[in-house]
């Protein structure tokens, strides 16, 4: 991937130019920060096509919205998200104030995928009383509306939602001592998740938590066996944060056959995941194929052969569409006071379900998306798989015939 990515379709001009000078048009300026390199699932080569499609759909569906996108691309010198984050706070502030000296807008907001930089952008937006919507990353304390009164997220990787799921499972099995294992060579979200979960559960007097970080690329059979032995002496169960292979999940994808060691140590596997969409519904499959083609043709990036469409592309498209729907509703009702304040504007998303062509998106009372949670239990002796999902809150999780009630808080 080269550093000079310039997407011709990732437009920084109004999405509905013809209506810009007309009467009764709401001029909306959206600031976004996009990471150039394909090392992250929320980087430009992945989500660029979603932004492009969203702008086209918004221009067609909401002709009274004159949308201008302002994209700050990460600097070529920064090839990892942590490196870029050190510079991004100053960069977005400088970019914002420079752009605001020109042009005219009725509404200004921030919408970005987000990696480590999302917290800095959210703090900046909060200080300005501007709405911020993130589609990939969020904060572990995003449910605190006193801290984040203008933040909405469409990500399916909600740390607090996952944490609530784990908490219910731990309580169901009465696990008080447990181990957290994260693979530092996995996708960067997994170590972040593991760190958040460790901090949360270790702060409670109810749990005794042990933390292990591994590098699966250098682990041999002896090291793997020793790890499992150490874990089994500490707890009956552990949470692992790492790349998996769906229903064909291997305990150690680096070398098949090692799962025998895990089966001898732990007799049951629970996989907790989100299911962003069903490809057979709402013509999503066709859209996914188009986005992959656009990643290749426009953004100079070809998906690896075995890589499926990552869910952050869809959640980025959805973030754009729910933003447009809320603004169009307010514009039609002439409630100007609600779109001029980020705090009041964010409240228009809460406890609301949006019917999109990609399926429903529900934002809860805390500004988080309520995702479809799926728990798969595999009994390693009988190889019986129990799979349970739910579409709306409260979530039901099946486990050995028991149900865990997971209500959105």
296 is in which domain, residue-wise? 17-155+277-363
Q: Are residues 145 and 229 both part of a single domain?
A: no
Q: Is the pLDDT of residue 254 over 50?
A: no
Tens digits of residue pLDDT in 313-357: 999 999 999 999 999 999 998 777 788 899 999 999 999 999 999
CATH number of domain containing 222: 3.40.50.2300
Residue bearing tokens 């869809």:
314
Mean pLDDT of 114-131: 90
152 upstream amide cis, omega within 30 of 0: no
Mean pLDDT of 30-47: 80
Cα angle vertex 33, ends 30, 35, to 5°? 150
CB 34 within 8 Å of CB 113: yes
Q: Are residues 183 and 262 both part of a single domain?
A: yes
Output 346 or 223, whichever has higher pLDDT: 346
Beta bridge partners of 181: 212, 240
Predicted pLDDT at 356: 92
Report the DSSP pairing between strands 26-34 and 107-112.
parallel
Q: Are residues 389 and 246 both part of a single domain?
A: yes
Query: How does residue 183 score in pLDDT terms, banded at 50, 70 and 90?
Result: confident
Number of domains in the chain: 2
Q: Are residues 246 and 343 both part of a single domain?
A: no
Most confident of 270-279, 303-312, 373-382: 303-312
Q: Are residues 138 and 29 both part of a single domain?
A: yes
Q: Are residues 40 and 137 both part of a single domain?
A: yes
Instruction: Look at residue 4 and tell me if it is in a domain.
Output: no
Tens digits of residue pLDDT in 124-169: 999 999 999 999 888 878 889 999 999 999 988 777 778 888 888 8
Q: Are residues 26 and 147 both part of a single domain?
A: yes
Q: Is the pLDDT of residue 378 over 60?
A: yes
Instruction: Look at residue 6 and tell me if it is in a domain.
Output: no
Neighbours of 220 (CB within 10 A): 11
Q: Are residues 237 and 247 both part of a single domain?
A: yes
CB 138 within 8 Å of CB 121: no
The alpha helices in 302-399, defined as continuous H runs, are 311-333, 336-339, 342-347
Instruction: Look at residue 1 and tell me if it is in a domain.
Output: no
Phi, psi for residue 396 in degrees, rounded to 5:
-115, 130
Instruction: Look at residue 58 and tell me if it is in a domain.
Output: yes
Contacts of 336 (CB under 8 A, 6+ apart): 330
Q: Is the pLDDT of residue 240 over 60?
A: yes
Phi, psi for residue 388 in degrees, rounded to 5:
-135, 130
Residue bearing tokens 């096509």:
49
Phi, psi for residue 17 in degrees, rounded to 5:
-65, -35
Q: Are residues 37 and 112 both part of a single domain?
A: yes
3-state SS class at 298: coil
Tens digits of residue pLDDT in 42-58: 688 889 999 999 999 99
Q: Which helix (H) or strand (E) holds 271?
A: strand 268-274
Q: Are residues 147 and 293 both part of a single domain?
A: yes
C-alpha distances (whole Å) from 279 to each of 34, 284, 374 are 26, 5, 16
Q: Is the pLDDT of residue 225 over 90?
A: no
Q: Is the pLDDT of residue 110 over 90?
A: yes
Predicted pLDDT at 109: 96
Instruction: Look at residue 313 and tell me if it is in a domain.
Output: yes
Predicted pLDDT at 9: 45
Q: Are residues 133 and 245 both part of a single domain?
A: no
Q: Which of 76, 81, 74, 79 is nearest to 3 (CA)?
A: 76
User: 163-172, 277-286, 352-361 — which is least confidently predicted?
Assistant: 277-286
Q: Are residues 194 and 227 both part of a single domain?
A: yes
Averaged pLDDT score across all residues of the chain: 78
């Amino acid at each position: 991937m080269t550093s000079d990515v310039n997407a011709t379709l990732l437009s920084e001009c109004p999405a509905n130019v013809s209506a810009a000078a007309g009467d009764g048009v709401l001029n909306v300026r959206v600031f976004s920060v996009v990471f150039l390199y394909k090392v992250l699932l929320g980087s430009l080569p992945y989500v660029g096509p979603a932004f492009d499609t969203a702008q086209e759909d918004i221009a067609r569906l909401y002709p009274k919205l004159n949308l201008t996108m302002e994209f700050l691309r990460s600097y070529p010198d920064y090839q990892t998200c942590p490196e870029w984050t050190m510079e991004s706070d100053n960069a977005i502030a400088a970019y914002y104030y420079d752009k605001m000296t020109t042009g005219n807008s009725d509404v200004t907001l921030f919408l970005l995928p987000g990696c480590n930089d999302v917290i800095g952008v959210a703090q900046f937006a909060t200080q300005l009383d501007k709405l911020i919507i993130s589609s990939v990353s969020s904060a572990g304390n995003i449910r605190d509306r006193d801290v984040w009164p203008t933040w909405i997220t469409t990500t399916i990787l909600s740390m607090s939602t996952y944490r609530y799921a784990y908490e219910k499972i731990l309580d169901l099995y009465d696990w008080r001592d447990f181990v957290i294992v994260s693979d530092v060579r996995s996708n960067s979200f997994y170590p972040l998740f593991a760190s958040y979960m460790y901090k949360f559960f270790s702060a409670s007097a109810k749990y005794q938590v042990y933390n292990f970080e591994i590098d699966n690329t250098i682990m041999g059979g002896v090291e793997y066996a020793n790890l499992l032995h150490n874990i089994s002496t500490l707890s009956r169960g552990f949470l692992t944060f790492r790349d998996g292979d769906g229903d064909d999940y291997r305990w150690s994808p680096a070398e098949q056959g090692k799962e025998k060691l895990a089966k001898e140590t732990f007799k049951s596997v629970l996989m907790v995941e989100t299911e962003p969409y069903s490809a057979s519904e709402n013509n999503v499959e066709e859209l996914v194929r188009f986005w992959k083609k656009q990643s290749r043709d426009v953004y100079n990036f070809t998906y690896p052969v075995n890589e499926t469409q990552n869910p952050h592309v869809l959640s980025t498209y959805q973030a754009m569409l729910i933003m447009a729907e809320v603004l169009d509703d307010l514009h039609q009702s002439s409630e100007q006071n609600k779109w001029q304040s980020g705090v009041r504007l964010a409240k228009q998303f809460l406890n609301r379900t949006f019917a999109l062509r990609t399926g429903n998106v529900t934002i809860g009372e805390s500004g988080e998306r309520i995702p479809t949670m799926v728990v798969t239990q595999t009994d390693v002796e009988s190889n019986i798989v129990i799979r349970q999902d739910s579409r709306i809150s409260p979530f039901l999780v099946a486990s050995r015939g028991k149900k865990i009630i997971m209500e959105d808080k």
